[in-house]
Amino acid sequence: MTENHLTTRVAIVTGGSRGIGREVAERLGADGLAVVVGYRSDDRSAAETVAAVEAKGGRAHAVRVDVADETSVAALFDEATERFGGVDVVVNAAGVMILGPLADFDLDAFDRMHRTNVRGTFVVDQLAARQVRPGGAIVNFSTSVKKLALETYAAYAASKGAVDALSLILAKELRGRDITVNAVAPGPTATELFLDGKSDEVVARMAKLNPLERLGTPGDIAEVVSLLAGAGRWINGQVLYVNGGMV
């Protein structure tokens, strides 16, 4: 292991090729962490994320991963350790959002979403619990819609409620390890995932739900992840609602 490995903190960001995940990867890279960008299938977007981190003077590497598959996730962690020397921060930004009324919701769609949002978070957290070094952080992604209880969001909100439970319990299970575990719960944020299929009227209405009367940006969310990954060592076992005061 080189001296540079010994002095560099290393972050894994799943879902790091697009949206909030990409912004988090870029922010952590700017904070001085070496970043491993975990992505599902979009090679081009992953390469663009790596290039964006490197353009700001950071170091990054992209690894294709299926977050719900333990063998694939183990390979992701192995690659991070081999390339950069270890793992200090794990950010679970990979997620799927499928909307529809509960009574008519397709159960195959429910299972697909559950596989990524719940099983994926569980598998990544399991490896993180075993490998993150002292002084590290695990950051999962929840959602503010759990409190809003918006129609058509039941299946998605339920999957993120499970993420809350995993996060709070894991924080206690890592007692004595000097590793923090938190969940970030964004409100409506201007990403492709959120905007897809929504009319301008719906987007405008949701932007007005918070007192700041705007959608969040990926940068707003990345700021909070940066805090949790760095100086925010006294924040542990929490669900942080990052939504401009919406709820």
> Which positions are annotated as active-site residues?
156
Instruction: Give the whole-angstrom CA distance, residue 146 versus residue 247.
Output: 10
Distance (Å, rounded) from C-alpha 158 to C-alpha 153? 8
Q: Within 10 Å of residue 40's Cβ, how many Cβ atoms?
A: 18
Identify residue 218 by its one-letter amino acid code: P
Q: Please name the amino acid found at residue 124.
A: V
The H-assigned helical ranges of the chain are: 3-7, 19-30, 43-55, 70-84, 107-114, 121-131, 145-148, 154-173, 192-195, 200-207, 218-229
Could you tell me the two tokens for 20?
């909030």
SS3 206: helix
Query: Shortest CA distance to 25 belongs to which of 71, 66, 56, 4?
Result: 56
